[in-house]
Chain A
Amino acid sequence: MAGSSMGDEDNPVAINVTPLIDVIFCLCVFFMCSFRFKQLEGKFDTWLPKDKGNKNTVIQSDMPKEVRIALFWDKVAGKTIRRMGDREVRSDEELQNLIRDAYRDLVLANHPDAPVTIDAQGAVPWNEVMKVVNMCKREKIEKIEFALGAPPPQ
Protein backbone atom coordinates (compact mmCIF):
# COMPACT_ATOMS: atom_id res chain seq x y z
CA MET A 1 0.00 0.00 0.00
CA ALA A 2 2.01 2.91 1.29
CA GLY A 3 5.38 1.47 0.47
CA SER A 4 4.49 0.69 -3.13
CA SER A 5 6.96 2.08 -5.64
CA MET A 6 4.94 1.12 -8.68
CA GLY A 7 4.04 3.94 -11.00
CA ASP A 8 0.72 4.39 -12.77
CA GLU A 9 2.11 2.79 -15.91
CA ASP A 10 2.98 -0.38 -13.98
CA ASN A 11 -0.40 -0.61 -12.34
CA PRO A 12 -3.12 -0.65 -14.94
CA VAL A 13 -5.92 -1.20 -12.41
CA ALA A 14 -6.25 1.97 -10.42
CA ILE A 15 -8.04 1.58 -7.12
CA ASN A 16 -10.30 4.40 -6.11
CA VAL A 17 -9.37 5.06 -2.51
CA THR A 18 -11.81 7.92 -1.96
CA PRO A 19 -14.60 5.78 -0.39
CA LEU A 20 -12.00 4.11 1.80
CA ILE A 21 -10.84 7.48 3.06
CA ASP A 22 -14.43 8.54 3.62
CA VAL A 23 -15.15 5.49 5.75
CA ILE A 24 -11.94 5.81 7.76
CA PHE A 25 -12.60 9.48 8.27
CA CYS A 26 -16.09 8.72 9.62
CA LEU A 27 -14.70 6.05 11.94
CA CYS A 28 -11.99 8.45 13.11
CA VAL A 29 -14.55 11.15 13.88
CA PHE A 30 -16.71 8.63 15.76
CA PHE A 31 -13.86 7.42 17.93
CA MET A 32 -12.52 10.93 18.50
CA CYS A 33 -15.91 12.15 19.68
CA SER A 34 -16.54 9.19 21.96
CA PHE A 35 -12.98 9.00 23.24
CA ARG A 36 -12.24 9.03 26.92
CA PHE A 37 -8.90 8.03 28.34
CA LYS A 38 -9.04 4.90 30.43
CA GLN A 39 -8.76 5.75 34.09
CA LEU A 40 -6.56 3.35 35.98
CA GLU A 41 -8.76 1.70 38.55
CA GLY A 42 -8.08 -0.56 41.45
CA LYS A 43 -10.09 -2.06 44.25
CA PHE A 44 -10.09 -2.77 47.95
CA ASP A 45 -11.31 -6.15 49.14
CA THR A 46 -14.10 -5.60 51.63
CA TRP A 47 -15.33 -9.17 51.99
CA LEU A 48 -18.14 -9.50 54.45
CA PRO A 49 -17.67 -11.71 57.51
CA LYS A 50 -19.40 -15.05 57.02
CA ASP A 51 -20.27 -15.69 60.61
CA LYS A 52 -21.82 -12.42 61.70
CA GLY A 53 -24.37 -10.09 60.28
CA ASN A 54 -25.16 -6.47 61.04
CA LYS A 55 -25.04 -5.78 64.71
CA ASN A 56 -25.00 -2.96 67.19
CA THR A 57 -21.63 -2.86 68.86
CA VAL A 58 -21.46 -1.69 72.43
CA ILE A 59 -18.01 -1.29 73.91
CA GLN A 60 -18.16 -2.26 77.57
CA SER A 61 -14.58 -2.65 78.70
CA ASP A 62 -12.42 0.28 79.77
CA MET A 63 -9.67 -0.55 77.34
CA PRO A 64 -10.84 0.04 73.78
CA LYS A 65 -10.31 -2.97 71.53
CA GLU A 66 -10.69 -1.12 68.29
CA VAL A 67 -9.65 2.07 66.59
CA ARG A 68 -12.83 4.05 66.03
CA ILE A 69 -12.97 7.00 63.70
CA ALA A 70 -16.19 8.97 63.62
CA LEU A 71 -17.21 10.99 60.59
CA PHE A 72 -19.98 13.56 60.75
CA TRP A 73 -21.53 15.57 57.97
CA ASP A 74 -21.82 19.28 58.72
CA LYS A 75 -24.85 20.24 56.66
CA VAL A 76 -24.35 23.98 57.08
CA ALA A 77 -20.67 24.12 56.19
CA GLY A 78 -21.02 21.30 53.68
CA LYS A 79 -17.95 19.47 54.96
CA THR A 80 -17.02 16.39 56.94
CA ILE A 81 -15.90 16.55 60.56
CA ARG A 82 -13.56 13.76 61.65
CA ARG A 83 -13.21 12.73 65.27
CA MET A 84 -11.10 10.18 67.00
CA GLY A 85 -12.11 9.86 70.63
CA ASP A 86 -12.90 13.37 71.80
CA ARG A 87 -10.46 14.95 69.45
CA GLU A 88 -11.44 16.65 66.23
CA VAL A 89 -8.96 15.82 63.51
CA ARG A 90 -8.43 18.54 60.97
CA SER A 91 -5.64 17.35 58.70
CA ASP A 92 -4.96 14.09 56.91
CA GLU A 93 -1.45 13.87 58.36
CA GLU A 94 -2.80 14.20 61.89
CA LEU A 95 -5.35 11.45 61.30
CA GLN A 96 -2.73 9.20 59.75
CA ASN A 97 -0.49 9.64 62.82
CA LEU A 98 -3.37 9.04 65.21
CA ILE A 99 -4.39 5.82 63.44
CA ARG A 100 -0.76 4.64 63.45
CA ASP A 101 -0.32 5.36 67.18
CA ALA A 102 -3.67 3.89 68.21
CA TYR A 103 -3.12 0.71 66.23
CA ARG A 104 0.42 0.33 67.57
CA ASP A 105 -0.94 0.62 71.13
CA LEU A 106 -3.47 -2.14 70.40
CA VAL A 107 -0.78 -4.38 68.95
CA LEU A 108 1.36 -3.79 72.05
CA ALA A 109 -1.67 -4.64 74.22
CA ASN A 110 -1.95 -8.04 72.47
CA HIS A 111 -4.81 -7.07 70.16
CA PRO A 112 -3.22 -7.33 66.74
CA ASP A 113 -6.57 -8.36 65.23
CA ALA A 114 -8.31 -5.25 66.51
CA PRO A 115 -10.32 -3.63 63.75
CA VAL A 116 -10.48 -0.04 62.64
CA THR A 117 -14.13 0.97 62.73
CA ILE A 118 -15.21 3.77 60.48
CA ASP A 119 -18.32 5.09 62.12
CA ALA A 120 -19.84 7.50 59.65
CA GLN A 121 -23.14 9.25 59.30
CA GLY A 122 -25.15 8.31 56.25
CA ALA A 123 -24.67 11.70 54.63
CA VAL A 124 -20.88 11.62 54.71
CA PRO A 125 -19.45 11.54 51.17
CA TRP A 126 -17.98 8.20 50.13
CA ASN A 127 -14.72 9.98 49.28
CA GLU A 128 -14.10 10.76 52.97
CA VAL A 129 -14.68 7.14 53.97
CA MET A 130 -12.30 5.92 51.28
CA LYS A 131 -9.67 8.38 52.47
CA VAL A 132 -9.73 6.74 55.90
CA VAL A 133 -9.70 3.24 54.33
CA ASN A 134 -6.66 4.28 52.30
CA MET A 135 -4.89 5.55 55.43
CA CYS A 136 -5.56 2.24 57.19
CA LYS A 137 -4.16 0.33 54.22
CA ARG A 138 -1.03 2.49 54.39
CA GLU A 139 -0.57 1.24 57.96
CA LYS A 140 -1.10 -2.34 56.72
CA ILE A 141 -4.34 -2.66 58.70
CA GLU A 142 -6.49 -5.28 57.01
CA LYS A 143 -9.45 -5.44 59.36
CA ILE A 144 -11.66 -2.46 58.63
CA GLU A 145 -15.29 -2.30 59.67
CA PHE A 146 -18.01 0.09 58.67
CA ALA A 147 -20.57 1.35 61.14
CA LEU A 148 -23.51 3.53 60.25
CA GLY A 149 -25.28 6.17 62.25
CA ALA A 150 -22.79 7.94 64.45
CA PRO A 151 -24.50 10.24 66.91
CA PRO A 152 -24.05 13.95 66.30
CA PRO A 153 -21.10 15.54 68.11
CA GLN A 154 -21.80 16.98 71.54
Chain B
Amino acid sequence: MKKRKKAVVEESVMCNLIAMVDIMFLLLLFFMLGADMGQRELAELVLPKADQVKPEDKKADVKDVYSTINVHHRYEEAGFTCAINKANGVCREPDHWRYAIRGREYTQADILPELQEAAAEAMETEIDPKAGQLLSRRKVLIRADLSAPFGDVNKLIELCGQAKLYKIEVAAAQPPPDEIGK
Protein backbone atom coordinates (compact mmCIF):
# COMPACT_ATOMS: atom_id res chain seq x y z
CA MET B 1 0.00 0.00 0.00
CA LYS B 2 1.32 3.28 -0.99
CA LYS B 3 1.68 5.88 1.65
CA ARG B 4 0.16 9.19 0.86
CA LYS B 5 2.55 12.06 0.91
CA LYS B 6 1.63 14.81 3.25
CA ALA B 7 0.98 18.16 1.57
CA VAL B 8 3.87 20.51 2.24
CA VAL B 9 2.68 23.84 3.54
CA GLU B 10 5.10 26.59 2.69
CA GLU B 11 5.33 29.08 5.48
CA SER B 12 6.25 32.57 4.65
CA VAL B 13 8.70 33.98 7.20
CA MET B 14 8.98 37.37 5.58
CA CYS B 15 9.13 40.18 8.06
CA ASN B 16 6.59 42.94 7.53
CA LEU B 17 8.75 46.02 7.17
CA ILE B 18 5.98 48.50 6.56
CA ALA B 19 5.44 49.32 10.23
CA MET B 20 9.17 49.83 10.66
CA VAL B 21 9.31 52.15 7.66
CA ASP B 22 6.44 54.14 9.16
CA ILE B 23 8.20 54.55 12.50
CA MET B 24 11.46 55.50 10.84
CA PHE B 25 9.70 58.11 8.76
CA LEU B 26 8.19 59.58 11.91
CA LEU B 27 11.59 59.62 13.63
CA LEU B 28 13.15 61.23 10.59
CA LEU B 29 10.45 63.89 10.52
CA PHE B 30 10.93 64.62 14.22
CA PHE B 31 14.69 65.05 13.91
CA MET B 32 14.42 67.11 10.74
CA LEU B 33 11.94 69.52 12.25
CA GLY B 34 13.68 69.66 15.61
CA ALA B 35 17.17 70.25 14.27
CA ASP B 36 18.33 73.84 14.35
CA MET B 37 20.36 74.46 11.23
CA GLY B 38 20.53 78.23 11.68
CA GLN B 39 23.83 79.87 10.93
CA ARG B 40 23.96 81.49 14.34
CA GLU B 41 24.65 78.03 15.73
CA LEU B 42 27.95 78.01 13.94
CA ALA B 43 29.41 79.38 17.14
CA GLU B 44 29.22 77.16 20.18
CA LEU B 45 28.36 79.33 23.13
CA VAL B 46 26.12 79.41 26.17
CA LEU B 47 23.94 82.48 26.42
CA PRO B 48 23.21 84.14 29.75
CA LYS B 49 19.70 83.52 31.00
CA ALA B 50 17.24 86.36 31.45
CA ASP B 51 13.53 86.07 32.10
CA GLN B 52 12.69 89.55 30.79
CA VAL B 53 13.89 89.04 27.21
CA LYS B 54 11.62 89.75 24.29
CA PRO B 55 10.96 86.47 22.51
CA GLU B 56 12.11 86.27 18.92
CA ASP B 57 9.50 87.45 16.45
CA LYS B 58 10.52 85.62 13.33
CA LYS B 59 7.80 87.20 11.18
CA ALA B 60 8.99 90.71 12.09
CA ASP B 61 12.65 89.72 11.84
CA VAL B 62 12.24 88.56 8.24
CA LYS B 63 11.43 92.14 7.18
CA ASP B 64 14.54 93.55 8.84
CA VAL B 65 18.07 93.39 7.58
CA TYR B 66 19.93 91.44 10.24
CA SER B 67 23.47 90.56 11.16
CA THR B 68 24.39 88.24 14.00
CA ILE B 69 27.72 88.57 15.74
CA ASN B 70 28.81 85.88 18.15
CA VAL B 71 31.35 86.53 20.89
CA HIS B 72 32.92 83.24 21.85
CA HIS B 73 36.02 81.63 23.25
CA ARG B 74 38.47 80.16 20.77
CA TYR B 75 37.77 76.52 20.06
CA GLU B 76 40.09 73.70 20.99
CA GLU B 77 42.17 72.77 17.97
CA ALA B 78 45.57 71.43 17.10
CA GLY B 79 48.10 73.72 18.74
CA PHE B 80 45.60 75.57 20.89
CA THR B 81 44.08 74.57 24.17
CA CYS B 82 42.83 76.52 27.19
CA ALA B 83 42.71 74.61 30.44
CA ILE B 84 40.50 77.18 32.19
CA ASN B 85 37.86 77.18 29.48
CA LYS B 86 38.03 73.41 29.23
CA ALA B 87 37.18 73.21 32.93
CA ASN B 88 34.23 75.61 32.39
CA GLY B 89 36.12 78.37 34.17
CA VAL B 90 36.17 82.06 33.32
CA CYS B 91 39.07 82.57 30.92
CA ARG B 92 40.43 86.11 30.93
CA GLU B 93 43.13 85.80 28.31
CA PRO B 94 42.43 88.63 25.86
CA ASP B 95 43.72 86.62 22.89
CA HIS B 96 41.34 83.75 23.55
CA TRP B 97 38.13 85.61 22.69
CA ARG B 98 36.82 86.04 19.17
CA TYR B 99 34.01 87.68 17.27
CA ALA B 100 32.34 85.52 14.62
CA ILE B 101 30.05 86.48 11.75
CA ARG B 102 28.57 83.60 9.75
CA GLY B 103 31.25 81.25 11.02
CA ARG B 104 34.15 83.54 10.12
CA GLU B 105 36.28 84.71 13.02
CA TYR B 106 37.48 88.26 13.63
CA THR B 107 39.46 90.10 16.27
CA GLN B 108 38.95 93.63 17.58
CA ALA B 109 41.54 94.82 15.10
CA ASP B 110 39.93 93.49 11.92
CA ILE B 111 36.16 93.48 12.45
CA LEU B 112 35.52 97.16 11.72
CA PRO B 113 35.77 96.93 7.89
CA GLU B 114 33.34 94.00 7.96
CA LEU B 115 30.88 96.03 10.08
CA GLN B 116 31.23 99.04 7.80
CA GLU B 117 30.54 96.86 4.77
CA ALA B 118 27.47 95.36 6.45
CA ALA B 119 26.23 98.83 7.40
CA ALA B 120 26.74 100.19 3.88
CA GLU B 121 24.57 97.44 2.41
CA ALA B 122 21.48 98.81 4.15
CA MET B 123 21.77 102.54 4.64
CA GLU B 124 18.79 104.74 5.39
CA THR B 125 17.76 106.97 2.51
CA GLU B 126 17.51 110.15 4.55
CA ILE B 127 19.92 111.84 6.90
CA ASP B 128 18.92 111.30 10.50
CA PRO B 129 18.10 114.70 12.03
CA LYS B 130 19.42 113.74 15.47
CA ALA B 131 22.66 112.22 14.27
CA GLY B 132 23.14 114.65 11.37
CA GLN B 133 24.34 111.86 9.12
CA LEU B 134 23.18 108.77 7.27
CA LEU B 135 22.77 105.76 9.54
CA SER B 136 22.35 102.12 8.72
CA ARG B 137 18.97 100.44 9.17
CA ARG B 138 20.65 97.06 9.66
CA LYS B 139 20.00 95.46 13.03
CA VAL B 140 22.86 93.74 14.80
CA LEU B 141 22.21 90.92 17.22
CA ILE B 142 25.11 90.32 19.59
CA ARG B 143 25.22 86.79 20.99
CA ALA B 144 27.90 86.76 23.64
CA ASP B 145 28.90 83.76 25.70
CA LEU B 146 27.97 84.12 29.37
CA SER B 147 31.62 84.24 30.42
CA ALA B 148 32.74 86.60 27.65
CA PRO B 149 34.54 89.68 29.01
CA PHE B 150 32.28 92.72 29.20
CA GLY B 151 35.12 94.77 27.75
CA ASP B 152 34.97 92.80 24.49
CA VAL B 153 31.21 93.16 24.17
CA ASN B 154 31.43 96.86 24.98
CA LYS B 155 34.17 97.31 22.38
CA LEU B 156 31.99 95.56 19.79
CA ILE B 157 29.08 97.92 20.56
CA GLU B 158 31.48 100.84 20.23
CA LEU B 159 32.72 99.56 16.85
CA CYS B 160 29.13 99.13 15.67
CA GLY B 161 28.54 102.78 16.57
CA GLN B 162 31.61 103.77 14.57
CA ALA B 163 30.28 101.80 11.59
CA LYS B 164 26.94 103.69 11.85
CA LEU B 165 25.13 100.61 13.09
CA TYR B 166 23.01 101.75 15.99
CA LYS B 167 20.20 99.20 16.09
CA ILE B 168 21.93 96.85 18.49
CA GLU B 169 20.29 93.94 20.27
CA VAL B 170 21.81 91.54 22.76
CA ALA B 171 20.67 87.95 22.96
CA ALA B 172 19.84 85.96 26.06
CA ALA B 173 18.31 82.57 26.64
CA GLN B 174 14.86 82.25 28.07
CA PRO B 175 15.04 80.15 31.22
CA PRO B 176 12.67 77.21 31.56
CA PRO B 177 9.43 78.13 33.41
CA ASP B 178 10.51 76.40 36.65
CA GLU B 179 13.67 78.56 36.83
CA ILE B 180 11.97 81.94 36.36
CA GLY B 181 12.27 84.20 39.36
CA LYS B 182 15.15 82.26 40.92
Contacts and interface: CB of A to CB of B under 8 A. Distances in A.
Interface string A18-39: 1011001101100110111111
B148 interface: yes
A4 B18 contact: yes
Nearest to A45: B169
B50 A42 contact: yes
Contacts of B10: none
B67 interface: no
Contact of A134 (B50, B71, B169): B50
Nearest to A133: B50
B94 to A, nearest CB: 9
Interface string B71-101: 1000000000000000001101000000000
Interface stretch (A50-58, A62-70, A82-90, A105-113): A50-58
Interface string A104-134: 0000000000000000111111111111011
What is the size category of the interface that chain A forms with chain B? 35 or more
B24 A24 contact: yes
Given A50-B131, A126-B153, A25 B24 contact: yes
A1 B22 contact: yes
Interface stretch (B1-9, B111-119, B170-178): B170-178
B144 A47 contact: no
Contacts of B92: 73, 75, 123
A130 B56 contact: no
Contacts of B170: 43-44, 46, 130, 133
B17 A17 contact: yes
B7 to A, nearest CB: 19
Contacts of B25: 24
A48 B160 contact: yes
A32 B28 CA distance: 9
Contact of B31 (A32, A41, A124): A32
A44 B150 contact: no
A124 to B, nearest CB: 5
B19 interface: yes
Interface of B: 17-22, 24-25, 27-28, 31-32, 34-36, 41, 47-48, 50-56, 71, 89-90, 92, 128, 130-131, 135, 141, 144-154, 157-158, 160-161, 166-174
5 contacts: A42-B54, A53-B161, A54-B158, A122-B152, A129-B153
Given A31-B35, A37-B34, A47-B168, 8 more contacts: A4-B18, A41-B171, A45-B54, A78-B89, A123-B92, A129-B153, A130-B50, A134-B52
